[in-house]
Structure 1
Amino acid sequence: MNTILKNKLGGLEGEIKDFSEKLNQFKLQQGNMSQLESMITSEMEKLGFDEVKTDEVGNVIGIIKGYKSVDDIVLLSNIDLPVAEHNNDSTPDKNASIMFDNDKSGILTSLFTGALFKRSLALLTGNLIVACITRSESCGFGVKYLFNQQLKKEKIKGVILCEPTDFKIYTGNKGQLEYEIVVHESNHKNNSPKYEQILDSKKNDLLNSLNAVSDRLPMDNELGKPSLVVKNVCYKNSPYDKGDREIHIKVDRTFTPAENETVILQNAQRLTKNIFNDDAIEDTHIDENKITTSTGKTLQETKDYKPWKMEGYHPFVVNSLEVLHENNFDTSVGYWKNRITEGSFTNGELKIPTIGFGAGKQENTQGVSLNDLLKSIYGKSLIIYRQIGVPTFGWDDGEI
């Protein structure tokens, strides 16, 4: 069957080039997400997917059906929304085209991996579910809606992320938590210059303390060092007492499985209490965004993404490595150190076995060559067939 997959992939090369050109010509911008979703839906239908649909948050889902639904594999790629489509007070995202360029490789390889199974007539024990998910943040509303609504009754054996891994099997990434520290000094008598100086001095002390925490964060051997970055500091009028002011400090924090979100927030609040007066009102909360999807649905998105790390001896990982090695892929286990992926939800929260495999370095997937796209499709197909394929004895010498 491996030889059949490789031969059929050669027959898809022209269609891969054509759809790649369509994606390259498409300019993603505010208001035209539905056009892209329609383009992907049409391509899935043209390639012969057994079932194609778009859900109410804009996820495009295509299914290649197996002979029973017990061992489904989900193949995930991403469509990043331009900022102004999901944040009412933001300006148009100048980086939208760059983000879309990074998405194209995953979209292409996921669709044509499904097409390859359809063309090869490979028999699968479960369904292959190809989902192009819309998102405003990595591991955002799209993947959560997909698994909580569309796939909640499916028996899923594993998830493959179409993310850049340089043809390695990636099995984890750090978590991310964006939170805000709010300090309200409630008992000062007036906004005197002296008070303002004291408040400003305390703010600087807190920022220095946060920087010190950043320097002390523990290293994870696989996922790398977590980080703490102050994104924004501003003063606002207090909603409690007219004339009072508040300090708002937004923090972007990555963390490893050895750490805990609740403890991170508690430590931030403790630092704040140690610096400001006892009568100050402190609040530390996780940021939320109000999201308007490409279909017009309004959602609240909490900016809290869990760390995850699959065990190297897990059968889903071992079988994937074995089939790639057997077919001359020079591969090993690795981890995303600079990306948050949908694995933060599929494995970090749902505990579904999850791996990543794809062309390109993790820092950038733009400009992936046709040969690397073909190699990525073939590698994904090998992994899927090893996981849920039915052996076809006699079709291929290597399988007799």
Structure 2
Amino acid sequence: MQDFAKILEMAEKYKDDMTKFLRDMVRIPSESCDEEKVVLRIKEEMEKVGFDKVEIDPMGNIHGTIGHGKRLIAYDAHIDTVGIGNRDNWEYDPYEGYEDDEIIVGRGTSDQEGGMASMVYAGKIIKDLGLEDDYTLVMVGSVQEEDCDGLCWQYIIKEMDLKPEFVISTEPTDGGIYRGQRGRMEIKVSVDGVSSHGSAPERGDNAIFKMAPILQELEELHKNLITDDFLGKGSLTVSEIFSTSPSRCAVSDGCSISVDRRLTKGEDKEYAMNQIAELPSAKKAGAKVEMYVYDEPSYTGLVYPTDCYFPSWVVEEDDESVQAVADTYKKLFDKDPRIDKWTFSTNGVSITGLFGIPTVGFGPGAEAQAHAPNEKTWKEDLVRCAALYAALPKVYLSRT
């Protein structure tokens, strides 16, 4: 029988260590495709606290292993961040950050290097309290999530053959347990025109004008997308527009737009692309509708191309993975958890959406802090998450 009070006591004991580790990670700029230095810092901490094995795979993801049992469980924290945006919007240096008794400020604190700090010290608590059992726990620090969510786990599952019974995502969950999210797609819509001199536009065929009614119909399409009771409504927005022309004194001969499409339950890539292709304006203009492909090299130089399609996913509330997390939460904190979903997208798009392995979210920080200036997380969140991550494997084994 686990001593849950002792686990909480140990997590509180390591609050300062987690804070220092998180602030060290924040000080290392680690945008997508430039994570090598923060990965090496994580490797140092995993080795210091006594992980059984620490490896960096060919893509650059770091895998820290605790235990040698037959049951395989994984935890995931993506350790890349977005940029800082307008520096004038930050009250503190986004990389040096700031802390007081309650919060830690800096880029990546909530999204989501805080999850890595809690994971690593959960490993130390497991070692300190002898909580190993017939399980192997692999804690992954994954790369390129901000650029292409789920790419890392496509690689990990298909190329590294890591197929756990379930995965805990340590993305921020505002204190709740999350079991799903809408999916998303990055779609490109293009129309061709014919250039002519700007003084005689009637001689050409202006691609920008041909795109205009498509934009209007997309705006209307957004209002009529389907809704799911749990995940909510599908959505779309036009995020970018590009055009080509021989000069500023000529009719445009090409126009393209990028569409950010959020997919609710029941929507997939064919459905979403056909909706656009079948718009009257798109058919009239002969528009080409296609998915973007992500093929940027990781910091190791590895290129692993994938379509920019990230399916929606839901793990049923009665699934043993969700129930084990809820049971652990109750045993530690003596109250019922809030079980909900993410607004944004996570690596679960691959883990669950493509491969059917359950993903359950429980992570320090808040969704609203993601990508925001003056991003922050809470020290008590780090403590609570470390405790739950340490206690969960044995609870899960006892239930299954």
Quick one: distance in 2 between partners of 1:358 and 1:7?
19
Residue deviations 1:14-59 (CA, integer Å, cap 9, x gap): 4323323423433446996322111100110001000001111111
Counterpart of 1:141, as a letter, is L
| CA offset digits 1:229-268 (Å, max 9, x no partner) | 1112222369xxxx99222121110011211210211121
Among 59, 62, 65, which residue is 1:63 paired with?
Answer: 65
Q: Which residue is equivalent to 2:325?
A: 320
Number of residues of Structure 1 aligned to a counterpart in Structure 2: 370
| 1:184–1:247 CA contact under 8 A, matched in 2 | yes
For 1:354, which of 356, 359, 364 is the aligned residue?
359
For the residue of structure 2 that corresponds to 1:75, the secondary structure is strand
Distance 2:210 2:31 in 1: 43
- 1:89 counterpart residue number: none
Distance in 2 (alpha carbons) for counterparts of 1:318 and 1:209: 43
**TM-score, scaled relative to structure 1:** 0.83
Q: 1:354 to 1:336 in 2, by over 3 A?
A: same
1:340 aligns with 2:345: yes
CA deviation after TM superposition for structure 1 residue 222, in Å = 1.8
Preserved CA contact (<8 Å) 2:59 2:298: yes
SS of structure 2 residue aligned to 1:157: coil
Question: Is residue 150–residue 349 contact of structure 2 (8 Å, CA) maintained in 1?
Answer: no
Report the CA distance shift for 1:94/1:57 in structure 2 as closer, same or farther (over 3 A). farther
**Is 2:170 aligned against 1:168?**
no
- Of 282, 291, 295, the residue aligned with 1:286 is 291
**What does residue 27 of structure 2 align with?**
25
Structure 2: distance between partners of 1:334 and 1:390: 22
Displacement of 1:353: 1.4
Q: Aligned partner of 1:211: which letter?
A: E
Change (3 A) 1:274 1:162: closer
Partners of 1:122 and 1:207 in 2: how far apart? 57
Q: Output the CA distance in 2 between the equivalents of 1:346 and 1:29.
A: 22
Between the aligned residues of both structures, percent identity stands at 20
Deviations 1:79-117 (A, max 9, x none): 22667xxxxxxxx97689565333221110111112211
1:287 Cα offset (Å): 0.7
Return the offset for 1:297: 2.0
- Residue 79 of structure 1 corresponds to 79
Q: 2:151 aligns with which of 141, 145, 155?
A: 141
1:24-43 alignment runs, 5 A limit: 24-28=26-30, 33-43=35-45
**Which segment is superposed worse, 203-212 or 325-334?**
325-334
Distance 1:200 1:194, change over 3 A: farther
What are the Cα deviations for residues 252-294 of structure 1, in whole angstroms up to 9, with x where unaligned? 10011211210211121111665525xx4x3211012331211
Aligned residues: CA RMSD: 2.9
Q: CA distance change for structure 1 residues 195 and 218 in 2, over 3 Å: closer, same or farther? A: farther
In structure 2, what residue type is equivalent to 1:308? W
Determine whether 1:213 maps to 2:218.
no
Distance in 1 between residues matched to 2:31 and 2:338, nearest whole Å: 37
Distance 1:360 1:334 in 2: 15
Whole-Å Cα distance in 2 between the matches of residues 163 and 294 of structure 1? 22
Q: Distance in 2 between matches of 1:19 and 1:321?
A: 28
For the structure 1 residues 195 and 114, does the alpha-carbon distance in structure 2 shift closer, same or farther, using more than 3 Å as the test?
A: farther
- Give the distance between the partners of 2:23 and 2:252, measured in 1 at CA: 57
Residue identity opposite 2:264 in structure 1: T
When the two structures are superposed, what TM-score results if normalisation uses the length of structure 2?
0.83
Gaps of 5+ in 1: 84-91, 392-400
Pair 138,293 (structure 1): closer, same or farther in 2 beyond 3 Å:
closer
CA shift for structure 1 position 356: 0.2
Q: Distance in 2 between matches of 1:34 and 1:7?
A: 33
Q: Render the CA deviation track for 1:299-341: whole Å, top value 9, x for unaligned.
A: 324211010011111121122212312331441210012x101
Per the alignment, do residues 237 and 272 of structure 1 end up closer, same or farther by CA in structure 2, a change over 3 Å counting? farther
Task: Tell me the secondary structure at the aligned position of residue 279 of structure 2.
Answer: helix
Is 1:303 aligned with 2:274?
A: no
Q: 2: distance between equivalents of 1:159 and 1:220?
A: 24
* Aligned mates of 2:140, 2:46 — CA distance in 1: 11
Asked whether the equivalents of residues 79 and 132 of structure 1 are also in contact (C-alpha less than 8 Å), the reply is yes
Of 227-236 and 42-51, more deviation after overlay is shown by 227-236
Find the counterpart in structure 2 of residue 394 from structure 1: none
| Bigger mean CA offset, 194-203 vs 98-107 | 194-203
Question: Would the aligned equivalents of 1:205 and 1:275 in 2 still touch at CA under 8 Å?
Answer: no
- Per the alignment, residue 241 of structure 2 pairs with 233
Distance between the aligned counterparts of 2:113 and 2:207, measured in 1? 48
1:172: how far off? Answer: 0.3
- Letter of the 2:242 partner, please give it: C
User: In 2 relative to 1, CA 171–235 (structure 1 residues): closer, same or farther, beyond 3 Å?
Assistant: same
Moved more, 4-13 or 365-374: 4-13
CA deviation string 1:102-135 (max 9, x = no partner): 3221110111112211111113221010000011
Structure 1: how far apart are the matches of 2:213 and 2:226? 23
Corresponding residue for 1:383? 392
